[in-house]
Amino acid sequence: MSKVKLAIVYYSAYGTNHAMAEAAAQAAEQAGAEVRLRKVRETAPADVVKSVPAWHDQAERTAHIPEAAPEDLVWANAFLFSAPTRFGTVASQLRAFIDTLGPAWQQGHLGNKAVSAMTSAQNTHGGQESTLNGLYTTFMHWGSIIVPPGYADPVIFASGGNPYGASATMGDVNDAVLASVRFQTRRLVEFAGKIAA
C-alpha cells in the first residue's frame, strides 16, 4: 500500500474542532499516514476575537499550529476538513480558505484524492448534516473521492448516528465522538492508500 499523506485542515473558534482534528491526526499516524495538521487563517477582526475570552484563549493555545496553505493540499494525497457549522453551512473562515484553492484545482492537484469532513454545532440539530453535505458538494467539484464514515461501524450510532461525518455538540468532544473521529480517519487513510496504490 502506498504511503498516505494526509492534510488535516480545520477551523476552531473555541476548541471543539481543534480537539477533533488532533484526535484525527493521532489516529492517522497510528494507521501509518504522514500527517500535516493545519488551521485556517482567522478572518474575524482581532479586536472581536479578543473581546470573547474563550475565542482569544483558543487562538493563543493554538498559535504554534501552522496555517493551511494550498501547497499542503498539493502535497497530500488525502484531505480531512473539520470546522463548525454557522447557520447551516461551514464557518466562513474555512470557506475563505477553500476559496483560495482555485489554482490548485485548475492544475489538477485536488482531483482523485480521498477526502472526508467533520463538524460541530451548538446543539444536536444545529446544521451538521447540511454543513457536511455542502462541503461534499465542493469536493465533488474538485473531483475528489468522498469517503464518509457511513454506517460502516457501530461507533457511528453511539456518537449520534451521523453517516456523513463525525460531529459534536460544541464543547462536548466525548469518548463516543472521539471513537467516531478515529474510525472515520482510519477509513479515510485505508481508502486513500487504495486510491494511491
Amino acid residing at 81: F
pLDDT value for 130: 92
pTM: 0.95
Report helix, strand or coil for 184: helix
Tens of pLDDT, residues 124-172: 777 898 999 999 999 999 999 999 999 999 988 887 778 999 999 888 8
Q: Which helix (H) or strand (E) holds 128?
A: helix 128-142
Helix axes 16-30, 175-196, angle to 10 degrees: 50
Annotate 51-85 with DSSP letters as a single string. Answer: TSHHHHHHHHHTTTSPBP-HHHHHH-SEEEEEEEE
Pairing of strands 78-86, 114-121: parallel
Per the listing, cell 500500500 goes with 1
What is the span of the domain harbouring residue 73?
A: 5-196
pLDDT value for 2: 58
Residue 10 maps to which CATH number?
3.40.50.360
Q: Which residues contact 77 (CB under 8 A, 6 or more apart)?
A: 2, 4, 5, 6, 113, 114, 192, 195, 196
Q: Which residues of the chain have pLDDT under 70?
A: 1-2
What total number of domains does the chain contain? Answer: 1
Amino acid residing at 179: A
